[in-house]
């Protein structure tokens, strides 16, 4: 459905992984290693999917993960995702590089639970201001991404561009062949902006294409455990560390006082050749059980995938 609706350059951004996409494929094949041994004759008339997650009750063990550039796929997509999460009764995570502000999303979902995903910038004033805005808007959880201080080498995605963020001729023509997308996304206001961080960028440079360059330059490549301790001291709410793949790092997150971790390889979009998140979960779960919220992503497609992750120790 997405491939039919979206121009090729946007679909490649959504669909592609890093380099040879081995990790992207491994995330799916990892589920094949595990088989159910179901108990027979169990009363299944009453079923309850509710799950406690970081001080709240989620209607089911699901969280909408943070994704950037949503506004390039559909107008006001961040708000629509948040509204869908509110309707279902699950948390929604807004990306630092969202196309809607945290404040706008919070206003649109007064009964929802919106978390802020945080990319730590070299300019600490930006990070501190983002934390203050999230707190003022009623956010109780920040999700700090630690596996993306450099953009992944997404070769399929890169092939759409001539240089920088300038589309090649083939993809410019292809975009014109998708009038429904053009009318929905481009007509209302042109290329969407990185609304969440627009105020920190040079005037007139907040469009998503320019914003990607700004974020790449601002991303703090020195991000380390001391930085997380600095964040822990400044953020009074839940701190979730996103990008953990080893039991040793999971233990460090516990020692730091984090309330949760996300076991993930960034959906196979960052470093190709990493282990699948589900395999990492097997080693990490014993370290974290009853100590923090254990969240996992990458490769999930259906309900039985989720059940396997819960059986292996994940909370959501």
Q: State the pLDDT at residue 208.
A: 66
Q: Is the pLDDT of residue 286 over 80?
A: yes
In a domain, 190, yes or no: no
3-state helix, strand, coil in the chain (%, to 5): 45, 15, 40
Note whether residue 122 is domain-resident. Answer: yes
CB 75 within 8 A of CB 83: no
pLDDT of 209 higher than 70: no
Minimal CA–CA distance to 112: which of 155, 83, 150?
A: 83
Can you state the angle between helices 277-288 and 303-311, rounded to 10 degrees? 40
- CATH number of the domain that residue 277 is part of: 3.20.20.70
Whether 121 maps to a domain, the answer reads yes
Whether 16 shows a pLDDT value over 70: the answer reads: yes
Q: pLDDT tier at 237 (50, 70, 90 boundaries)? A: very high
Q: What is the pLDDT of residues 58-115, one digit of tens each?
A: 999 999 999 998 999 999 999 999 999 999 999 999 999 999 999 999 999 999 999 9
How high is the mean pLDDT of the chain?
Answer: 93
User: What per-residue confidence (pLDDT) applies to 206?
Assistant: 65
Residue with the bigger pLDDT between 153 and 276: it is: 276
* 228 assigned to some structural domain: yes
User: What percentage of the chain reaches a pLDDT higher than 70?
Assistant: 98
The per-residue DSSP string of 254-303 comes to HHHT-SEEEE--GGGTSSTTPPPHHHHHHHHHHHHTTTSEEEE-SS--SH
* Residues 240-256 pLDDT 10s: 999 999 999 999 999 99
> Distance (Å, rounded) from C-alpha 186 to C-alpha 177?
13
Q: Do the domain assignments include residue 172?
A: no
User: 229 pairs with which residues across the strands?
Assistant: none
The secondary structure element, H or E, covering residue 54 is none
219, 150 Cβ separation under 8 angstroms: yes
Strand partners, 53: 56
Residue 208 lies in a domain: no
The pLDDT of residue 276 is above 80: yes
Domain coverage including residue 70: 2-38+46-155+214-311
Structure tokens at 227: 């930085």
Task: Say yes or no to pLDDT of 205 above 70.
Answer: no
Give the per-residue pLDDT at 66. 96
Q: Supply the residues annotated as catalytic.
A: 266
How confident is the model at residue 214, as a pLDDT? 80
- DSSP code of residue 223: -
282-293: average pLDDT? 94
Helix axes 169-176, 8-15, angle to 10 degrees: 100
Q: Is residue 165 part of a domain?
A: no
User: Tens digits of per-residue pLDDT, 19-64?
Assistant: 999 999 999 999 999 999 999 999 999 999 999 999 999 999 999 9
- 248 domain-assigned: yes
Torsion angles phi and psi, residue 295, rounded to 5:
-110, 145
Q: Which of 234, 223, 238 is nearest to 63 (CA)?
A: 238
At residue 221, the pLDDT reads: 87
Say if pTM beats, i.e. exceeds, 0.75: yes
As for how many domains the chain has, the answer is 1
pLDDT value at 194 more than 90: no
């Amino acid at each position: 459905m997405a491939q039919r609706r979206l121009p090729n350059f946007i679909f490649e951004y959504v669909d592609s992984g890093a380099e040879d996409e081995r990790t992207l494929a491994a995330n799916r094949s990892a589920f094949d290693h595990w088989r159910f041994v179901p108990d027979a004759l169990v009363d299944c008339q009453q079923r309850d999917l509710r799950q406690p997650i970081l001080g709240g009750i989620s209607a089911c063990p699901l969280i909408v993960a943070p994704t950037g550039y949503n506004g390039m796929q559909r107008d006001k997509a961040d708000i629509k995702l948040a509204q869908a999460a509110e309707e279902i009764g699950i948390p929604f995570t807004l990306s630092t590089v969202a196309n809607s502000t945290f404040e706008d999303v919070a206003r649109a979902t007064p009964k929802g639970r919106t978390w802020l995903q945080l990319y730590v910038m070299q300019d600490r004033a930006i990070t501190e201001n983002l934390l203050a805005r999230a707190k003022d808007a009623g956010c109780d959880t920040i999700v700090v991404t630690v596996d993306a201080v450099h953009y992944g080498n997404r070769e399929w995605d890169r092939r759409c561009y001539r240089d920088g963020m300038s589309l090649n001729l083939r993809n410019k023509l292809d975009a014109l062949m998708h009038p429904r997308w053009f009318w929905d996304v481009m007509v209302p206001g042109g290329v969407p902006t990185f609304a969440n961080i627009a105020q920190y960028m040079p005037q007139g440079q907040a469009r998503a294409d320019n914003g990607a360059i700004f974020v790449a330059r601002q991303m703090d490549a020195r991000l380390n455990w001391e930085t997380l301790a600095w964040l822990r001291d400044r953020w009074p709410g839940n701190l979730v560390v996103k990008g953990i793949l080893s039991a040793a790092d999971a233990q460090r997150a516990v020692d730091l006082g984090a309330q949760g971790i996300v076991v993930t390889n960034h959906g196979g979009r960052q470093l190709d050749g990493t282990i699948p998140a589900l395999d990492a979960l097997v080693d990490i779960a014993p370290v974290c059980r009853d100590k923090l919220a254990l969240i996992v992503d990458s490769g999930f497609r259906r309900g039985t995938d989720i059940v396997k992750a819960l059986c292996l120790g994940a909370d959501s």
